[in-house]
Chains A and B, each alone.
Chain A
């Protein structure tokens, strides 16, 4: 093909696309097609391509269908979304219940504390027992009153000097 012919065909590229898309061939293009085998061939190829495209395009979106239970699932999800909202108390109501519960517990604790802390008269028997317990002495307390107790008191403690311990002569010791 000559260079001039190539250039001439190139200018028909867009009209060919338009004609293939719309199905309408303008008069000047028709004249060119009747004289140009290459453009006619290209036009036929474009028409075939357009038909294939028209068949394929819907499949891009409609190549699959929603599942048969789609509507049921949507309705179940919608009901699930709506159900808790209806059954759930409002936040203010919930806070109100919480406050009442706290107050009730506080009242119970206070009542119990007041009851246990109140000064009721102690029974006589219990009082006597308490006095006995206060007067009780351990059996070893008796050693504190023995003569040896003086010795215990005069013996230096750990770390003390004997010099400070008052020594008694035999005469002094004798009554």
Chain B
């Protein structure tokens, strides 16, 4: 009887967790990818973030709680990995596998790829506080309050830092 109940609990837990992964996987992956710029690393970090969430799932059953927690842990894991990779930072070209780049011709695509690579480099040179806000804000489905939760700063600070980051980029991206 107890075994049956335990099995039922486990199934319920897995089903609930599966639903949460479906809701959050794209955003979590983009958080990691925005920082790491490498598809394989981003997938590994995202998977690790979800595994950690699974271990804590009993206390993260609420959707909002899960979302905030997994965003934060993915961001931290990605930053940690980036520190490790910084010396041998390898970026891949898989960015064009999806998105608007698909509709443009080869020459434009190549030019856009170069621009994107330059933009990544310029983002890397931003002051850390501005860079972190920007890297999180460019993720689809992340508003100022989400970013504020991850960085543990007020939403107003997020907006002002984001503005400052954009201004710096506008100045250097000639």
Contacts and interface: CB of A to CB of B under 8 A. Distances in A.
Sorting the interface of chain A by its residue count into under 10, 10 to 19, 20 to 34 or 35 or more gives 20 to 34
B140 A75 contact: no
Contact of B116 (A49, A63, A67, A73): A63
Contacts of B25: 66, 70-71, 74
Interface stretch (A17-25, A107-115, A122-130, A151-159): A17-25
A56 B140 contact: no
A77 B51 contact: yes
A interface SS class = helix
Nearest to A83: B10
Interface string A67-82: 1001101110111011
Contact of B18 (A59, A61, A67, A71): A71
A89 interface: no
A57 interface: yes
Given A67-B43, A75-B21, A82-B10, A49 B138 contact: no
Interface in B36-64: 37, 39, 42-43, 46-47, 50-51, 54-55
Given A66-B25, A71-B22, A60 B123 contact: yes
B5 interface: no
B77 interface: no
Contacts of B96: 63
A17 B123 contact: no
Nearest to B48: A77
Contacts of A21: 163, 166-167, 170
A61 B138 contact: yes
Contact of A46 (B33, B42, B170): B170
Nearest to A54: B166
B99 A75 contact: no
B138 A57 contact: yes
Contacts of B31: 61
Contacts of B55: 81
Interface string B112-125: 10011001100100
B interface SS class = helix
A53 B21 contact: no
A52 interface: yes
Contacts of B119: 53, 56-57, 60
A53 B116 contact: no
Nearest to B29: A66
Given A70-B43, A75-B21, A65 B29 contact: yes
Contact of A18 (B37, B95, B138, B167): B167
B50 A62 contact: no
A77 B33 contact: no
A64 B120 CA distance: 14
B65 interface: no
Given A64-B98, A65-B26, A74 B170 contact: no
Contacts of B6: 86
Shortest 4 CB-CB contacts between residues of A and residues of B: A63-B95, A61-B34, A66-B29, A78-B54
Interface of A: 17-18, 20-21, 46, 49-50, 52-53, 55-67, 70-71, 73-75, 77-79, 81-82, 86
7 contacts: A59-B100, A59-B116, A64-B29, A64-B95, A66-B43, A78-B51, A86-B6
